[in-house]
Structures are given as C-alpha cells and as structure tokens.
Structure 1
Amino acid sequence: MDVVMEYLDTYVFDGVYNKAAGLTSTEPLPRNSILRQSISLFVFIYTYIILFYFGTAGLSYRYVYDKKQEQHPKYLKGQRFLEMACASRALPQITVLTIPWILGELHGHSMVYKEWDKYGYPYLAISAIMFILFTDFCIYWVHRLEHHPKVYAQCHKLHHKWIVCTPFASHAFHPIDGYLQSLPYHLAVYVFPMQEYVYLALFAFVNVWSVMIHDGEYVSNNPVVNGAAHHTVHHLYFNYNYGQFTTLFDRLFGSYRKPTAEIYDRSKRNSKSVQSKQANEIDDKIPTLEAKKSQ
C-alpha cells in the first residue's frame, strides 16, 4: 500500500493538502501525519472499492449473469437495486474499520516486503497459496460463527436476504459482517511475509472472486473449488458451504453439500418445477432456521 500512497501523494494528495492549507492559512499536513494518512486512505480505498464493485459486478451482470434467475420465486422485487443500496451503505463503514490495518502496514508493523527475491522467488508462489488457504480457513470460521443463533440476526441475516443472488449481492452486507469477512485478508500479512505487489494482486483477486461466486454462472464443476454453484447452495439452504475459495474446510468440518445437476445445468435450474421445488424447500426451512437463529 505504501507504493500506492507514494504515487497518490505525489500526483494527487500533495496538491490537495497544499491547496487546503492555503485556503485555511495553515501549514499543510505532512505525509507522515496519521490524520492525513487516514483521510487519504479513506478517500482512496472508498473510491477504489466503489469503482471496483460497481464496475466488476456491473460487467458480470451485463455479460455473465443468467438473468432468467430473476424469474425465480425467491428473487425479490427490485432486488438488484436493493443489493446496490445495501452495499453503498455498508462500504463507507467497512472502509473506516479497515483503515487501522492499512496504517499498520504503512508504518512497518506488517510483514509486507519490497524485494522480489527477499525470501527467494519460489516463495512468491508459496505465499500466494498460503494466503488463499489462511484466508479461506479464517473466513470459513468467521462465516460459520456468523450463522450461530446468537450472532446471525445481528450481523449476517441481511446478506441472506438475497436468496437468489445477482453479482451485486457480493458486497451487500451488514457493515460488521463485511468487515469481519474481510479481516483475514488484512490479518494475513501480519502472520507471514508477502511481497507487496503479490499482496496487492491477491487483494484485487479476492474482490473479483467475491463477485464471481455470486454471479450464478457455474463455470467450474471442481470438487475442491468453492465456485458459484457451491455458494448458491449456501444461499438457498443456509447451513452449508461456508468456505470462500475451496471446499476443503467444509469437507473437513462436516458442512459440505455438493451442488446438484439442476444447479449446474442452466435449462434445469431455470425450469419452473425446479425453482418451485427450491422455493418450497426454503419456505419449509426458514421458520425453523429463523426461530433457532433468533434465540
């Protein structure tokens, strides 16, 4: 992140803060000021995530998403815009909560490093695998704990409003829910070393992945990869497939549910009989689930 901030300070923020100082007859905030860094990080991260979210989800909705899913009985009226509104409310708050972790990186408290060969080139690939497995494990448990009856209604229930998702559901969380599920991505670089560009690339990847597993296009029928089909099962049936990238921890801890052929096959999943069956199963389960999760 220090590379990004150096670029932004040089070409954007120095001029902005100098102008603000001139207008207020004060000294410009120095680059190492915590206040300046916090403000700059908020502006950058919020701008980035809004553009990335609407851009990636918008392209996915336009070119990938199977819009026949909007005829599903569990698709809400105006849902796409409800998802966007939900994300728009949550993202500023998630950004504020995220800033301390980025400040820690900027001030050298993380294990992010600059030199490509500091730990050898093979470690670059190893660290990427470690990042995926570490965050997948952490998110699995964060996500599963969010389904605990004492937590669900306060935090995670909002995201399950979207039973039949569009790509815009990817970031449509309660702010605390979104923050908790993003936390492992920031925590990773405080646990093991990562080269800064590898880390930035993976950070962009996880945002794309979050959109992909909500886009309803089941391009991967891999038993290990937690793709859109597995996450669709989670939204339809609630207590399965908590993982983010893989099915490993769902399998290991007994929460795996294999997607059926009717989820992978577009003609089957769009049939009225399949959708009606899914809706009936959900209607049968929701009262019990809601009763348990509100206790």
Structure 2
Amino acid sequence: MDLVLHLADDYLLDKVWARLLPLDDHLYASLPTSANFTSITHLSQSTWPRDYIPRQIISLSVITLVGIHILYFLFAWLSYKFIFNHEMMRHPRFLENQVKQEIQSSIQAFPVMTLLTLPWFQAEVMGYSKLYDNVEDYGWAYLVLSVPLFLFCTDFGVYWTHRLLHHPSVYKTLHKPHHKWIVPTPFASHAFHPVDGYLQSVPYHIFIFTIPLHRLLYLGLFVFVNIWTILIHDSDMVTGHALEKVINGPSHHTLHHLYFTVNFGQYFTLADRVGGSYRQPESSLDPMLEIKKQS
C-alpha cells in the first residue's frame, strides 16, 4: 500500500492536499524544525507533508475505499455477466432480491473493514513490513518461489481463521451473515460482517510483516486475492478437471455454502485434507439439479 500511496501522492493527492491545506509562507517560517517539516519538497506545497501521519491515514482510507469499490464492482460484475450461470437464480434457496442484498451488505462492510485494516497499511507505509524493492536483494529464484510460499502460507492462515469463525461461540454473530447466501453470486464475495471480512484478511498482512516479499509482487497478489474471492462465489459445480483435488475452486466453495462444514480453504485443498474437512465436488451435488427438478 505504500507504493500505491506514493503514486497517488505523485499524480493526485499532492495537488489535493495543497488545495485543501495550502502552504502559507508565514506559517512555514514559524514551524519548528523537525523530521516532518524540514523542506518545502517534503511539504509538497501543503502544510501537511507526505510523512505527516494524519495525512497518510486519511489518504490511505480514501485510496482503500475507492480501490475496493472498483475491484469489487468491476470484477464481480464481469464474473456475474460472463461466468455466473443466471439459471442459479431460480434455485429454491436463492433469496428474493438477493443480488441487491449482497451488494448492500458489501457496501456496508467496506468502511469498517477499511478502518480495521488501516493500522496494517499505516505500519507498512512507515516501513515496518518486510516488503522490498530490489529483486537482487533476494534473487530471482526467491522471487518466483515466494508466490507459492505466499499462497500456501496464507491459505493455511485463512483456513484456520475461517474454521474458527464457524465455532458456535462466534458463528451466529460474525460469520452467519455471509452464509445467508446459500447459492451465492459473485456479488456475495465481499458480503461479510466487517469483522469477519477483516479477520480473514489478517493472514495476508501477517505474511508481509514476517516474510520478505517484493513490493510489486505483493500488490499484484493483493489484487489477485480479491479477484479469486469473487471467482469462487459463482455457485459453479464443474467437476472432473485435472486439478480438482488440488485447487480449491468454485465447486469446492459452492459445497461450503451448501453444507457449511466442508472446504474452508481459499486456494488449495491441502489444508482441508489435513484438517479433515475436505469434500470432493461431485456432479450429484450440483445445486443445478434442484432447479431441474422444478422444470
């Protein structure tokens, strides 16, 4: 997020902050000499310089909210339009006005999820993470291997977080709102209780504060995580493909929404196999069969 903030400052936010809080020459002359007010370059023509924490927090909040709305509506719409089987909307457990409810739930969750995530982003901007810029620091082999490392580590983290959210002590309050969507559409991908959505994102933040990862690669993976989350919520039940027992895809997550206690993983089936919660997708479990019965 520090890279995104830097680019946003370069191309937009410096001008916005300069207009909102323009630099006053007399005020500048009276400011105490400190790390925050050392040069007119760092002030970026605003009384709030780039490294001023309140400015960073506000900027990060706006960037995050705008970004998640763009990601959500763009890719959920694309999946809904071109991948999601609209016949699923005739399923007996598909709710009235469900798509509208899914979107409303997501929009309501985004501000609180953003607020909860801000400390991680702020710590990243302040340089406390293990993100790095130069490939030469760890080499190309590590760069390539860090992708499966990120996916497997966060998958296990999400698995156990997700499974704990199904514990009776917290399920009704935190996770049941997401399981309102028995037959979800891609718009259900982010339709969480905000604390639920935040907790399932924590493994991704922990990773970059414990394991080195290239900054640009992390940004790409962060976008991928959100797109993948959208894609596995299309109620699909395509079975028999080569990676079915390895990749935890839409068919697996469809079973999770139908039966609640299986396939908690995000990307792979390994965590579910280790945790004893794996269920193999089968054509006989396809929710489309319920629709055909009505025909």
TM superposition score category, shorter chain reference: 0.7 to 0.9
Contact 1:230-1:241 within 8 A present in 2 as well: yes
| 1:239 and 2:258 matched | no
Report which of the two structures shows the higher radius of gyration computed on alpha carbons: 2
CA displacement at 1:267 relative to structure 2: 6.5
TM-score, normalized by length of structure 2?
0.88
Q: Which residue of 2 aligns with 1:119?
A: 138
Taking the aligned partners of 1:72 and 1:23, their CA distance within structure 2 comes to 60
Q: Which residue of 1 aligns with 2:93?
A: 74
For 1:57, give the aligned amino acid. Answer: A
Q: Which residue of 1 aligns with 2:250?
A: 228
Contact 2:175-2:196 within 8 A present in 1 as well: yes
Residue number among 184, 198, 207 corresponding to 2:226 in the alignment: 207
| 1:54 and 2:76 matched | no
Taking the aligned partners of 1:121 and 1:216, their CA distance within structure 2 comes to 38
Unaligned residue ranges in structure 2 (runs of 5+): 28-45
Taking the aligned partners of 1:111 and 1:267, their CA distance within structure 2 comes to 46
Q: Which residue of 1 aligns with 2:292?
A: 271
- Give 4+ residue runs of structure 1 displaced > 4 Å after superposition: 23-27, 266-270
Taking the aligned partners of 1:218 and 1:17, their CA distance within structure 2 comes to 49
CA displacement at 1:28 relative to structure 2: 2.1
| 1:89 and 2:108 matched | yes
RMSD between aligned alpha carbons?
2.0
Taking the aligned partners of 1:79 and 1:44, their CA distance within structure 2 comes to 28
CA displacement at 1:4 relative to structure 2: 1.7
TM-score, normalized by length of structure 1?
0.88
Q: Which residue of 1 aligns with 2:201?
A: 182
Q: How does 1:126-145 map to 2 (within 5 A)?
A: 126-145=145-164
Taking the aligned partners of 2:238 and 2:128, their CA distance within structure 1 comes to 40
Instruction: Name the one with the larger helix percent.
Output: 1
Deviations 1:265-289 (A, max 9, x none): x97464226x9xxxxxxxxxxxxxx
CA displacement at 1:50 relative to structure 2: 0.3
| 1:2 and 2:2 matched | yes
CA displacement at 1:169 relative to structure 2: 0.4
Taking the aligned partners of 2:74 and 2:271, their CA distance within structure 1 comes to 31
Unaligned residue ranges in structure 1 (runs of 5+): 276-295
Please say which of residues 117-126 and 158-167 is displaced more in the overlay: 117-126
Q: Would the alpha carbon gap of residues 23 and 75 (structure 1) be closer, same or farther in structure 2, given more than 3 Å must change?
A: farther
Taking the aligned partners of 1:86 and 1:174, their CA distance within structure 2 comes to 8
For 1:108, give the aligned amino acid. Answer: G
Taking the aligned partners of 1:32 and 1:272, their CA distance within structure 2 comes to 62
Deviations 1:32-64 (A, max 9, x none): 011000000010011010011011001110111
Taking the aligned partners of 2:235 and 2:135, their CA distance within structure 1 comes to 37
Please say which of residues 13-22 and 107-116 is displaced more in the overlay: 13-22
Contact 1:57-1:211 within 8 A present in 2 as well: yes
